[in-house]
Structure 1
Amino acid sequence: MKMNGIGLDSKKTEILAAELNILLANFQVYYQNLRGLHWNIRGKRFFDLHVKFEELYNDSQLKIDLIAERILTLGGTPLHTFEEYIKHNKMQVGFNISKDEEAVNLIVMSLTQLLKIERVILKQSGEANDEGTNAMMSDFIKEQEKTIWMMNAWLDVEL
């Protein structure tokens, strides 16, 4: 078995880097959706949601950087073009969403899709003994599950 520079199986980390690139692409779409929601939200909940969407896109921007740096740490190359992001996108793209419930529903759907990708990576990183990627996915999953719970509480949706 060939090892990479951080002592992990090269074949397994190559697969992980590819999965992380899928996550990166989807986070970029999620980030852009959040920017659009932040810019276009209207109505009586504008002030609260405008601030919340900014908080979420700032958090996403940090996560995007963490994902790209992890790909590099594993020996891969992060995707970095819109063409690649669209090619690997698995989530709905928000277009001119200005209504509060529609915006929050898009966030819930987007986070649910990100969780699916992250859980695949979590399983693979565990099998590869890649604690760095595993810990990152665990942190992302925990935060996003809480955000989904909060968004569903705001929507008054039973879990």
Structure 2
Amino acid sequence: MSKKLYEKMNLYLANQEVAYIKLHNLHWYVKGRSFFTLHAKLEELYDRTAEIIDAVAERLLAVGQAPVANMKEALALATIKELADKPISSEETVQGLIADVEYWIRDTKEIVELADAAGDGVTADQFNDYLGEYQKLLWMLKSYIA
């Protein structure tokens, strides 16, 4: 595994770890007419994020690398920002999710390209699967507010 790919995957992992907490924040603080729908969807999203965290960390370990596994280091690395503990409207929640998913699509594509360049088809396949999930989620979120 190239150093650049390893570093990018660890950044991705740190961002997923922060996103996991951010999704809980939204789950607890979302308000508005779409509360029930979004509350359930956010739980689905943070459960999936937990699976991605585990799979990315295990992939790093499988190729002899060390995954970021503590919040202090994750917060130091992450580019995803946490949210304040305060109510957030349904509309703001969906707009924020769209922005985050657009970020995940760009970030995931970059890892696929790095993995392909490094000849790491297994990592490329893993992240291509995430890319398909994020693209579908983006379509659904945009359709939800259309």
TM-score when scaled to structure 1? 0.85
Percent of paired sites with the same residue: 29
Alpha-carbon distance, 1:146 to partner: 0.9
Match in the other structure for 2:20:
31
Q: Calculate the aligned-residue CA RMSD, in Å.
A: 1.3
Uncovered stretches (5+) of structure 2, i.e. residues with no partner: none
Query: Any idea what SS the aligned residue of 2:57 has?
Result: helix
Asked if the contact 2:13/2:56 (under 8 Å) is kept, the reply is yes
Query: Any idea what SS the aligned residue of 2:100 has?
Result: helix
Alpha-carbon distance, 1:81 to partner: 1.6
Aligned residues: 145
Structure with greater Cα Rg: 1
Distance 1:150 1:94 in 2: 23
Query: Any idea what SS the aligned residue of 1:79 has?
Result: coil
> Where has structure 1 moved over 4 Å in runs of 4 or more?
none
Q: Which amino acid aligns with 2:145?
A: L
After TM superposition, list the pairs within 5 Å mapping 1:88-99 onto structure 2: 88-95=77-84, 96-99=86-89
Q: Write the deviation string for residues 43-63 of structure 1: whole angstroms up to 9, x where unpaired.
A: 221111110100010011000
TM-score when scaled to structure 2? 0.92
Query: Any idea what SS the aligned residue of 1:121 has?
Result: helix
Cα 1:116–1:88 change in 2 (3 A) is farther
Alpha-carbon distance, 1:71 to partner: 0.7
> What is the aligned counterpart of 1:80 among 69, 79, 92?
69
Q: Write the deviation string for residues 61-101 of structure 1: whole angstroms up to 9, x where unpaired.
A: 00010010011112111101212212222223222242101
Distance 1:19 1:70 in 2: 13
Asked if the contact 1:17/1:76 (under 8 Å) is kept, the reply is yes
Distance 1:140 1:131 in 2: 14
Cα 1:46–1:23 change in 2 (3 A) is same
Q: Which amino acid aligns with 1:17?
A: Y
Distance 2:37 2:71 in 1: 30
> What is the aligned counterpart of 1:150 among 111, 115, 140?
140
Which piece of structure 1 moves more, 86-95 or 59-68? 86-95
After TM superposition, list the pairs within 5 Å mapping 1:1-40 onto structure 2: 10=1, 12=2, 14-40=3-29
Match in the other structure for 1:3:
none
Asked if the contact 1:38/1:50 (under 8 Å) is kept, the reply is yes
Match in the other structure for 2:30:
41
Alpha-carbon distance, 1:149 to partner: 1.0
Cα 1:117–1:37 change in 2 (3 A) is same
